[in-house]
A = this chain, B = another copy of it.
Amino acid sequence: MDGRVSRAQKLRESRRAGVMMVARRIFAEKGYHATSIDDLIEAAGIARGTFYLYFESKRAIFDQLLDELVAVLQANVHRIDVSPGAPPPVEQLNAIVDRVLGTLVEHREIAQILLREAVGIDEDFDRKLADFYGRIEGMLERAIQTGQGMGLVRACDAQVVARCILGAVKEVVHYALVGRDPAQLDIRKMGREVIAFTLQGLFR
Chain A interface (Cβ < 8 Å from any Cβ of B):
30-34, 115-120, 122, 144, 147, 151-157, 160-161, 163-172, 174-175, 189-190, 193-194, 196-204
Task: Report the bound CA distance from A153 to B161 in whole Å.
Answer: 20
Q: Identify the 7 closest CB pairs spanning chains A and B, nearest first.
A: A167-B171, A31-B120, A201-B201, A154-B204, A164-B168, A118-B118, A167-B167
- Do A164 and B172 contact each other (CB < 8 Å), given the known contacts A31-B119, A120-B31, A201-B200? yes
When distances are taken between beta carbons in the complex, the residues of chain B under 8 Å from A156 are 193, 196-197, 202
> How far, in whole Å, are A30 and B165 apart by their CA atoms in the complex?
27
Shortest distance between the CB of A45 and any CB in chain B (Å): 17
The smallest C-beta distance from A109 to any residue of chain B, in angstroms, reads 14
Residues in B whose Cβ lies below 8 Å from that of A115: 118
The one of B154, B164, B175, B202 in contact with A153, judged by C-beta atoms closer than 8 angstroms, is: B202
| Minimal beta-carbon separation of A143 from chain B (angstroms) | 10
Bound together, the chains give a CA A201 to CA B30 distance in angstroms of: 36
Query: In the complex, which residues of chain B have a beta carbon less than 8 angstroms from the beta carbon of A153?
Result: 202-204
Contacts of A202 in B (CB 8 A): 144, 147, 152-154, 156, 161, 198-199
Distance between Cα atoms of A154 and B153 in the complex (Å): 19
Q: Which chain B positions have C-beta within 8 A of A166?
A: 171
Please give, as numbers and ranges, the residues of chain B lying within 8 Å of A165 by CB-CB distance: 168
Closest chain B CB from A110 CB (angstroms)? 15
Known contacts A118-B118, A119-B117, A120-B120; A161 and B203 CB within 8 A of each other? no
Cβ of A133 to closest chain B Cβ, rounded Å:
8
A137 to chain B, nearest CB (A): 9
Give the nearest-CB partner of A157 in chain B: B193
Find chain B residues with CB under 8 A from A118 CB: 115-119
**Closest chain B residue, CB of each to CB of A189:** B157
B172 touches A160 (CB 8 A): yes
**Separation of A119 and B170 alpha carbons in the complex (Å):** 14
